[in-house]
Structure 1
Amino acid sequence: MAGIGPVSQDWEPVVVRKKAPNASAKKDEKAVNEARRAGGPIETIKKFNAGSNKAATSATGLNTKKLDDETEVLAHERVSADLKKNIMQARLEKKLTQAQLAQQINEKPQIIQEYESGKAIPNNQIIAKLERVLGVKLRGGKK
């Protein structure tokens, strides 16, 4: 290779040392121990919430109590019995399987299964696609 000069390697050992331990921390520890032995006053500083989870539990303690006192049952709206029956009837009239219908509306077959079993959370876009492909008004009477 022309243009590249001789490459030399430095074989001298490189010594990497850690920094000396913090001398002031040892002094403080030593001073506290000496003061304890002498019976003199010891000044310590308590750090706020040091090493504890107190702040997190006190904040959630209130919310947990509110949740425990809550009596209202909250659940997502599910597909109505009429809608699931209409989807199934329209699909069977067109002689389509759930997988074929799902492919036509560009969704997973599992979506159709959930709608027909009543487990799905209603999505107006999916219902509109079903109405267009099946040629039936699912939320009301027939077209």
Structure 2
Amino acid sequence: MSGTGGPISQDWAPVVLRKKAPTAAARKDEKAVNAARRSGAEIETVKKSTAGTNKAASSSTSLNTRKLDEETEILTHDKVPTELKKAIIQGRNEKKLTQSQLAQLINEKPQVIQEYESGKAIPNQQIITKLERALGVKLRGKK
């Protein structure tokens, strides 16, 4: 048996965690309240509306919600125009590519091509540029 020779000992000193000491103003307020209690005076307590909750931004959130509720205009995202859908399908068919093959060519998911051809996608100029290059067809500039 080799080593330093003695048993291993660990020093477990107690760790004491304390609350932060109250400020001078808080101590003064506390003393005044205690004095009032002892003399029998009436003490008014006011509960903070968001005390102990995580609702600091609730007032601004409710304002935004109200604005949305009062909004009468129907807002929607831009969709792929019919001309663009047809041009993508025609270009893909001329090159004899499947949606998956075209997606691989432009490094996008097949779902992206499917959404563009069905008109559900939100037009993205970068993707349209990739499609133009891959298909050799001009898809923009017809407006």
Matched, 1:41 2:41: yes
The Cα of 1:64 is off from its aligned counterpart by 2.3
3-state SS of the aligned residue for 1:62?
helix
Structure-1 residue corresponding to 2:135: 134
| 1:139 Cα deviation from its structure 2 partner | 2.1
Structure 1 match to 2:103: 102
Change (3 A) 1:48 1:126: same
TM-score (norm 1): 0.68
RMSD: 3.6
Residues 1:102 and 1:48: Cα distance change in structure 2 (over 3 Å): same
Structure 1 unmatched ranges of 5 or more: 20-27
CA shift, 1:140, in A, is 4.6
Number of the residue aligned with 2:5 = 6
Superposition map of 1:39-118 within 5 A: 40-46=40-46, 48-49=48-49, 50-51=51-52, 56-118=57-119
Deviations 1:51-98 (A, max 9, x none): 467754433332222221111111111110000000001101111100
Residue correspondences, number: 126
Please say which structure displays the higher CA radius of gyration: 1
After superposition, what is the alpha-carbon deviation per residue over 1:92-125, rounded to whole angstroms, capped at 9, x for unaligned? 1111100111111111111110110001111111
Tell me how far apart the structure 1 counterparts of residues 125 and 64 of structure 2 sit (CA, whole Å). Answer: 34
Change in 2 beyond 3 A, CA 1:54/1:97: closer
CA distance in 1, matches of 2:104, 2:15: 66
State how far apart, in whole Å, the 2-side matches of 1:102 and 1:89 are.
15
* Consecutive unaligned residues in structure 2, runs of 5 or more: 18-29
Residue identity over aligned pairs, in percent, reads 57
Give the 3-state SS of the residue equivalent to 1:83 in structure 2.
helix
Query: Are residues 92 and 61 of structure 1, via their aligned partners in 2, closer, same or farther at CA, if it must alter by over 3 Å?
Result: same
